[in-house]
Structures are given as C-alpha cells and as structure tokens.
Structure 1
Amino acid sequence: MTTPPGDVNTVHDFLAELWPEAHGVSDVDRISVETALIELAANVMQHADTDGAGLACEFTIVVTDEAIDMTVRDTGEPGEIQLVGAEMPELDAESGRGLALITALVDHVAYSQEGGHNIWRLTRARTTGA
C-alpha cells in the first residue's frame, strides 16, 4: 500500500482477501485485527507523512492456530511513540485514541525503527469460535 493516493480502504481490501484463506478465525478476532490495523494505518498516514509527499506502507499478516501476527513497515518520519500507559482521552477529545485503542485490541504492540523504516509488530492471540 502506498499513500497517497492509498487510504484505509486499501487495508480493508487487503483483509477482505486474507480472511477467506485464514480458516476458523473468529469474528471477534477479525473485527479486533481490522480495527487495530485501520487505526494504525490512519495514524501512519496522518503522523508519519510529515511533508505530504506520501509514503510506502507494507502490511504482513501471519495467521497460525495460536495467534495473528501483524507487521506494518512504513517509510514515514520516525515518531516519538509511547506505547506504555496509552490511555483513552476524554470523551470530547478530537484525537488521541489510536494507540490506546490498538493496545486494547491486541495482546502485544512493539514499535522500532530499522533501516530507515518504522516497524510496528502487533500480535493477537486467537480466540475460539468462528
């Protein structure tokens, strides 16, 4: 996915292609993964593309019997990311929910900078039921 002109609909399309091949993933896991990745993609597009020139963003998802592992690699500007203690803002706040929501939806979130890329690693343990 490259943005612009890509947008979060690209993530929806990517996941729509993935789910039929990922047998037995519960609806709760699908919704949680989709929401977390959409939030992350929106944050990357909003905050990492500081000069408006666009950026490349690559999504990798591996579904095993135990977990759904996601990696998002982007070419945007590095950020000062605070994952520990991410909390939901006040109800009337216009922003600031992204990381708190992501950390609530998955079991593990890690951020690093490697080789000029921002790397996000998310893991959600699979629940039972489809």
Structure 2
Amino acid sequence: MSEPHDHAPIGLDLSAPAEPSVVEAVQNELALLWEQRPDLDPGVTLRFEMGLVEILGNIVEHAFDPDTPGRLLTVAVTIEGDVVRGTLSDNGQPVAVDLSTVTMPDEDAESGRGLALAVAALDELSYTRDGDCNRWILRCGGAGS
C-alpha cells in the first residue's frame, strides 16, 4: 500500500446526459485514472468502481421519468494518497432511501441488489438531496478499509 503523501491528488470530472452509455464512459475514464496510480490497492479500485457503477446504474435507470428532457449527471472522482472519493450528482427525482437499512434481497428477487452491493463494497456511502440535486458521496480506502 502506498504512503498517503507519495502522490499529488488526481481525479476526473465528467458531465453527461444520464443515459445508459454514460456507465461505459465512466468506466473508461476510471481505467485511465487507475493507470495513473498502479500502486493503488487493486481491492480498493475494484470495490470503488463496483460501488460507483451500481449507484450510476440506479441513477440512469430510476432517477428520471423515461421522457424527462435534460437528464444531467456529473461524476467527480479524486484519488489522494490511498483514498478514492467520488461524488455523483443528478437532477433527477428525489430518492427515498435510508442507507442504514439497505440489505441484500432474497435470491429469488429480480432487482434490488445494486444498492446493497454498493453499500457492501464501499467504506462510505451517503445520499443527500440539495435543492433539485441528488448527491451521492462515495469513499474507498484509507484507514479502516
């Protein structure tokens, strides 16, 4: 594991329509980011990416009515030391979720695993509604990861 002060902070910022293609675009950007920090614990990058992609997929699928124009999403990710942080923001509908009560659904359930996987994968996950904006904060790595 790297020392927290070995590297200057790096990151990515992406704004795009909240459409299914954004998931692959974000994964491509993350791959480039991981290449810049090959010393970063692969478990941290894997868990972070899994959590981020699950939340991102939920935003694309559930945050908007299908015909809503102007579906916008921003993704910001930073790596500082051995900590990866992300913020996902969208202008979709408010989310009614209490992350402290999220559990994995029964094996027969056809949906509902994404948020539970994200909670399990990430060291920190929070959601807030700020005006007309949903904001998800993610963290992986650092002390206690």
Short-chain TM bin? 0.7 to 0.9
SS in 1 for 2:21: coil
Query: What is the percentage of aligned positions where both structures have the same residue?
Result: 29
Q: Which runs of 5+ in 1 are unaligned?
A: none
Match of 1:39 in 2: 54
Q: Normalized against structure 1, the TM-score is what?
A: 0.87
Q: Which runs of 5+ in 2 are unaligned?
A: 1-15
User: Alpha carbons of 1:66 and 1:27: their partners in 2 closer, same or farther (altered >3 Å)?
Assistant: closer
> RMSD of the TM alignment (CA)?
1.8
Give me the whole-angstrom Cα distance separating, in 2, the residues matched to 1:57 and 1:94: 26
Give me the whole-angstrom Cα distance separating, in 1, the residues matched to 2:54 and 2:20: 17
Q: Which has the larger radius of gyration?
A: 2
Q: Give the 5 Å matches for 1:109-124.
A: 109-124=125-140
Q: Give the 5 Å matches for 1:1-130.
A: 1-4=16-19, 6-53=21-68, 55-126=71-142
* Structure 1 moving runs of 4+ over 3 Å: none
The amino acid of 1:12's aligned partner reads: Q
Give me the whole-angstrom Cα distance separating, in 1, the residues matched to 2:125 and 2:108: 26
Alpha-carbon deviation of 1:120?
A: 0.3
Alpha-carbon deviation of 1:66?
A: 3.9
Q: How many residues align?
A: 127
The amino acid of 1:29's aligned partner reads: V
The amino acid of 1:27's aligned partner reads: P
Alpha-carbon deviation of 1:5?
A: 6.0
